[in-house]
């Protein structure tokens, strides 16, 4: 199948200017040519006239949870919910996501086989946590570890999170996720907002344990992403060789220089200040947070300032999980407007396109989609793109309104067309 998109105002994911009057030639599921010269419409199976509108690469959300299991939920319920969650993401304009841990194997397989609708998935599979860490999902102290090493907690039994302590256990856990096809490894390197028994201020995993995950990932050509908030956790993770910091709200000047020097990526989700504003808009009192959470909120402005000052590797991510989508259906696309406010439209758009392409390169031969480029529009990229009403390079928030997404294409297949 050959398709032509004509009269496009193209943002290629790399350069911060539009290429007007672009024609995009698609063969199979790949972009074969982009030219500003006229192209004969003969011999094309389909011609789509962008009408001078902006065309951008399909967006990439670098931190989601497609199969985030909830308390008292069976794993098969989680998968069913994840299927609906995947289609919602695709219709938000996200043609690729990096899954930051959960029950995702079957969802990804179903998408790749064309059985269900959803974005491309870069899976971590089970995220790896120490005992009494952010991934220890036991809901009460009555949930114990049995003699055979199994847990009475349904979340731990399902495998979306894996408990591992010590170098050897972490090494084995990482290799198990690689066996499932993980494109990167996810570890919990510090306390979390939503977990019961680990204070936010805790540092989780010794440097040696972190290195076990890094060594296993590196031996398979890929990298480790780590959940962390505190300065101490980030220093330890940087020394251990972790390449992607998830959250990182307590960033300071010293750490910003280390992140820059070591070429570490930052994915600064979720957006707690924006979440509080949303709750207030509904007339709700802000949710009670764990001790230490306010300090994280208070440091968000400094984190923003340092990312811009040092031009750090920022990738767009939302921590979008199904229960958040149920309470706030616009949470994922709303965060594009938050990125505009924090980082500016150009940096924000790049974080969801070209920067994601740079991050994906770290997966080398663990990349589950090696046939094409993701996050950019150029020769050899996948035919993943959006036709947009508005000017996202100068007002990224236009992408926060689904009505402005006139066409959504993934793998050369059109999932929405209101042109």
Burial class (CB in 10 A: 0-12, 13-18, 19+), 17: exposed
Q: Are 314 and 266 contacting, i.e. CB atoms less than 8 angstroms apart?
A: yes
- For residue 69, the 8-state DSSP code is P
List, for residues 286-321, the tens digit of each pLDDT value. 677 777 788 888 999 999 999 999 999 999 999 988
- For residue 394, the 8-state DSSP code is T
Phi first, then psi: give them for residue 406, nearest 5 degrees. Answer: -75, -30
E-strand ranges in 174-250 read 185-188, 224-228, 244-247
Core vs surface per residue 195-208: b (16+ CB within 10 A) or e: beebebbbbbbbee
**Spans in the chain with pLDDT lower than 50:** none
Q: How far apart are CA 82 and CA 325, in angstroms?
A: 11
Secondary-structure percent of the chain, ordered helix, strand, coil, rounded to 5: 35, 25, 40
> Strand 320-321 to strand 59-65: parallel, antiparallel, or no bridges (unpaired)?
parallel
Domain(s) labelled CATH 2.30.40.10 in the chain stretch across: 2-56+374-417
List, for residues 170-195, the tens digit of each pLDDT value. 999 999 999 999 999 999 999 988 78
Domain(s) labelled CATH 3.20.20.140 in the chain stretch across: 59-343
Half-sphere exposure at residue 26, Cβ-oriented, CA atoms within 13 angstroms = 26
The predicted structure's pLDDT at residue 151: 67
Pick the CATH number of 59-343 from 3.20.20.70, 3.40.50.12160, 3.20.20.140, 3.10.150.10: 3.20.20.140
- Beta-ladder partners of 228: 247
Name the CATH superfamily for 2-56+374-417.
Answer: Urease, subunit C, domain 1 (2.30.40.10)
Q: Are 119 and 96 contacting, i.e. CB atoms less than 8 angstroms apart?
A: yes
Packing angle of the helix pair 300-309, 253-261 (nearest 10 deg): 40
- DSSP state string for 243-308: -EEEE-TT--HHHHHHHHHTT-EEE----HHHHHHHHHHTTPPPPP--TTHHHHHHTHHHHHHHHH
The predicted structure's pLDDT at residue 302: 97
């Amino acid at each position: 199948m050959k398709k032509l998109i004509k009269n496009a105002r193209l943002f290629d994911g790399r350069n911060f200017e539009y290429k007007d009057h672009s024609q995009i030639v698609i063969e199979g599921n790949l972009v074969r040519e982009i030219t500003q010269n006229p192209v004969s419409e003969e011999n094309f199976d389909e011609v789509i006239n962008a009408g001078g509108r902006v065309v951008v690469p399909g967006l990439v959300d670098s931190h989601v949870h497609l199969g985030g299991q909830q308390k008292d939920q069976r794993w098969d319920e989680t998968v069913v919910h994840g299927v609906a969650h995947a289609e919602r993401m695709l219709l938000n304009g996200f043609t690729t996501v990096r899954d930051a841990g959960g029950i995702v194997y079957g969802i990804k397989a179903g998408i790749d086989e064309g059985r269900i609708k959803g974005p491309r998935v870069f899976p971590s599979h089970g995220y790896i946590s120490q005992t009494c860490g952010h991934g220890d999902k036991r809901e009460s102290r009555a949930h114990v570890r049995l003699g055979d090493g199994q847990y009475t907690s349904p979340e731990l039994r399902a495998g979306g999170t894996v408990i591992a302590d010590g170098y050897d256990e972490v090494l084995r856990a990482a290799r198990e996720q690689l066996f499932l096809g993980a494109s990167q490894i996810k570890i919990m390197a510090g306390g979390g907002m939503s977990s019961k028994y680990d204070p936010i201020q805790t540092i989780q995993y010794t440097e040696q344990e972190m290195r076990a995950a890094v060594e296993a990932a590196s031996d398979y050509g890929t990298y480790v992403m780590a959940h962390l908030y505190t300065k101490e956790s980030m220093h330890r993770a940087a020394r251990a060789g972790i390449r992607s910091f998830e959250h990182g709200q307590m960033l300071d000047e010293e750490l910003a220089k280390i992140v820059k020097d070591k070429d570490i990526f930052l994915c600064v989700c979720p957006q707690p200040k924006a979440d509080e504003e949303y709750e207030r808009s509904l007339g709700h009192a802000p949710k009670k947070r764990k001790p230490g959470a306010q300090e994280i909120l208070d440091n968000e402005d400094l984190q923003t300032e340092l990312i811009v000052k040092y031009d750090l590797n920022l990738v767009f991510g939302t921590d979008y999980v199904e229960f958040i989508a149920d309470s706030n259906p616009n949470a994922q696309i709303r965060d594009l407007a938050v990125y505009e406010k924090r980082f500016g439209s150009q940096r924000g758009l790049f974080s969801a396109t070209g920067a994601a392409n740079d991050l994906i390169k770290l997966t080398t031969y663990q990349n589950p989609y090696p046939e094409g480029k993701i996050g950019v529009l150029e020769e050899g990229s996948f035919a993943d793109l959006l036709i947009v009403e508005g000017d996202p390079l100068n007002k990224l928030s236009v992408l926060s309104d689904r009505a402005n997404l006139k066409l959504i294409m993934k793998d050369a297949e059109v999932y929405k067309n209101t042109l």
